[in-house]
Amino acid sequence: MNNLSLNIEQDILEDTNEIINELGVPRNHYINKAIAFYNLLQKRQLLKKQLEKESALVSKTSMEILAEFEKFEE
pLDDT band for position 8 (cuts 50, 70, 90): very high
In a domain, 43, yes or no: yes
Provide the domain count of the chain: 1
- Determine the pLDDT at residue 58: 83
pLDDT band for position 21 (cuts 50, 70, 90): very high
In a domain, 44, yes or no: yes
Domain that holds residue 62: 10-73
pLDDT band for position 61 (cuts 50, 70, 90): confident
In a domain, 3, yes or no: no
Distance (Å, rounded) from C-alpha 11 to C-alpha 18? 11
In a domain, 5, yes or no: no
Q: How far is the first Cα of the chain from the last one, in angstroms, to the nearest whole number? A: 66
- Min mean pLDDT across 7-11, 27-31, 52-56 is at 52-56
Predicted TM-score (pTM) of the model is 0.72
